[in-house]
Amino acid sequence: MSRLVIVSNRVAIPTRRGGAEGGLATGLLEALRPHGGLWFGWNGRLAEVIPAAPALETGGDIVFALTPLTRREFEGYYVGFANRCLWPVFHAQLHLMHYDATALGIYLEVSRRWAETLIPLLHPEDVIWVHDYHLIPLGRALREKGVRAPIGFFLHTPFLGVDLLRALPGQTHLIEKLLAYDLIGFQTPLDCQSFYRALGFFLPEAHREPGGIRYAGRLTRVESFPIGINVEEVAHLARSGRNNRHGRRLETSLTGRRLILGIDRLDYSKGLANRFRAYEQLLERWPEFQRRVVLLQIAPLSRTEVPEYDEIRRELNTIVGDIHARYAEYDWLPLRYMTRGFPRSTILGFLRQAEVGFITPLRDGMNLVAKEYVASQDPEAPGVLVLSSLSGAAQELEEALIVNPYDTEQMAAALAQALGMGLEERRARFQAMMERLGRQDIHRWIASFRDALAATTHAVSGD
């Protein structure tokens, strides 16, 4: 089997205490674990001078090749273009988009530099799998420097409609760069459809053929590969986390109150303001739940260098304060809101303890926490998932209570429905979702992408 080379902005080296944190990182580690390989990306640090060769670290059969960013790269590539421009556009938050031509230039430069740094590490039989919106131009940069290996790209975020992309300066060039890949993977069939529509609009000279898209003498295959989870591992960690020190402390602190739980990075795309407002409406319209429920929202700080993340943080602090001022009692705090993180097994243990998983992003490529909520449940007494219709996961987890994350009344009603749902219905919904999660797990995601990428080598007609 050829060696797998993964390139992503973040590289998460597993710590001794547990796996790498976060969905993307966990998924990529699973991809490399069985046969080893190379994982190239940012070491998370800034340096004044970039060493010519990346630092190599080894973990089992995996070699991690890490490079720092200069401050200019960090501000232009990571903060500026990837997270202040592409991220809000890809999550339909145009009012938060900040375009800066210099940042775009640095974004393109980083891909060119990474291509140069990666090439000396490549073996002739490698297949290369590039991840996410940070690195769209990397495939083209590698091709321009003569790399002929199969190169695939997977977008973890949503790919949205033409109307949004029209607002993104330079969108045609970015789309064209995507066509340097042999395979483009999206999370859902809807994302694929949006991509085809975008091609028709911005790049009509690209031809759709049965095997993919023909453009500039090469064929690019486009498919959806919904990312999954390691179902058995999640269930196992959730069982142990349920009874660890934190799990027991949470249980004791609830004093029999029913737990509604949300877990998200603190990101404006996660819909936390609407989620808190919806919970407030639950307490208002169904006063019988006052004193009987607790919403625990764990939202670890994220991208604190991006100003818009500071704004959402302040907004949430205000909303939480409002809700406390209105409903808190001297012996009951309706909403517990924390911005620190916990080890993975503790989080999964908390999910197992929650009667309702409340996951309502305004947009999300997939949302693996939704899947983890289901897999962490006790099959004998599973909880209920309330899930945003605008997450990729909603296209698979149909038996969740699907809500529009902009409709706070509907979300409040779904919470009330979830809290009132009988055991039989909860079990039936849980079982249906578990079957699907088992069929579309992380191993299937990896194998299907790798197989599809390997198959493109026969279809490529030249660079």
- Closest approach of ligand F6P to the CB of residue 365, in Å: 7
Q: Which of 84, 91, 143, 156 binds ligand F6P (CB under 6 A)?
A: 156
Given candidates 132, 176, 355, 396, which one binds ligand F6P under the rule CB under 6 A?
Answer: 132
CB 365 within 8 A of CB 155: yes
Q: What is the DSSP letter of 148?
A: -
What's the distance, CA 216 to chain centroid?
31
**Least separation, in Å, of the C-beta of 7 and ligand F6P?**
12
Interface pick for ligand F6P out of 303, 344, 352, 436 (rule CB under 6 A): 303
Q: Nearest distance from residue 131's CB to ligand F6P, in Å?
A: 7
Alpha-carbon span 128 to 153, nearest angstrom: 9
Q: CB-based contacts of 67: which residues, under 8 Å, 6+ apart? A: 40, 41, 42, 43, 50, 51, 54, 55, 114, 117
Nearer Cβ to ligand F6P (10/246) = 10
Query: How big is the CA angle at 274 (ends 270 and 279), to the nearest 5 degrees?
Result: 115
* DSSP assignment of 380-440: TS--EEEEETTBGGGGT-TTSEEE-TT-HHHHHHHHHHHHH--HHHHHHHHHHHHHHHHHT
Cα angle at 332 between 329 and 334, to 5 degrees? 100
Q: What are phi and psi of 279, to 5 degrees?
A: -65, -40
384-388 and 356-359 as β-strands: parallel, antiparallel, unpaired?
parallel
Minimum distance from residue 144 beta carbon to ligand F6P (Å): 24
Radius of gyration in angstroms for the set of CA atoms belonging to the chain, rounded to a whole number: 22
Query: Which residue's CB is nearer to ligand F6P, number 177 or number 426?
Result: 177
# of chain residues touching ligand F6P (CB under 6 A): 7
CA distance 158 to 12: 22
Closest to ligand F6P by CB, 10 or 291: 10
Residue closer to ligand F6P by CB (options 131, 429) is 131
Amino acid at 171: Q
Q: Which residue numbers are catalytic?
A: 156, 364
Whole-number minimum distance, CB 122 to ligand F6P, in Å?
23
Shortest Å, Cβ 87 to ligand F6P: 7
270 touches ligand F6P by CB under 6 A: no
Give whichever of 86 and 319 is closer to ligand F6P, judged by the CB atom.
Answer: 86
Distance CA 179, CA 189 (A): 18
Nearest approach in angstroms of CB 306 to ligand F6P is 9
- Beta-sheet pairing, 258-263 with 37-46: unpaired
Question: Which residue in the set 93, 172, 193, 302 belongs to the binding site for ligand F6P (CB under 6 A)?
Answer: 302
- Which residue in this structure is represented by tokens 């060769």? 53
| Nearer of residues 64 and 289 to ligand F6P, judged by Cβ | 64
Contact between 77 and 107 under an 8 Å Cβ cutoff? The reply is yes
- Using the rule CB under 6 A, which residue among 10, 72, 291, 444 binds ligand F6P? 10
Interstrand relation of 62-69 and 183-186 (parallel, antiparallel or unpaired): unpaired
313 lies in the binding site for ligand F6P (CB under 6 A): no
What is the x/- site pattern for ligand F6P, positions 341-370, by CB under 6 A?
Answer: ------------------------------
Maximum C-alpha span of the chain = 71
Minimum CB distance to ligand F6P, residue 42 (Å) = 9
243/346 Cα distance (integer angstroms): 9
User: Rounded distance, CA 423 to CA 451, Å?
Assistant: 41
CB of 10 to ligand F6P, least distance (A): 4
Instruction: Tell me whether residue 298 or residue 415 sits nearer to ligand F6P (CB atom).
Output: 298
24 binds ligand F6P (CB under 6 A): yes
Residue 258, amino acid: R
Helices 189-202 and 171-178, packing angle to 10 deg: 120
Give SS3 for 40. strand
Q: Which residue number places its CB atom closest to ligand F6P? A: 10
| Binding positions for ligand F6P, rule: CB under 6 A | 9-10, 24, 132, 156, 302-303
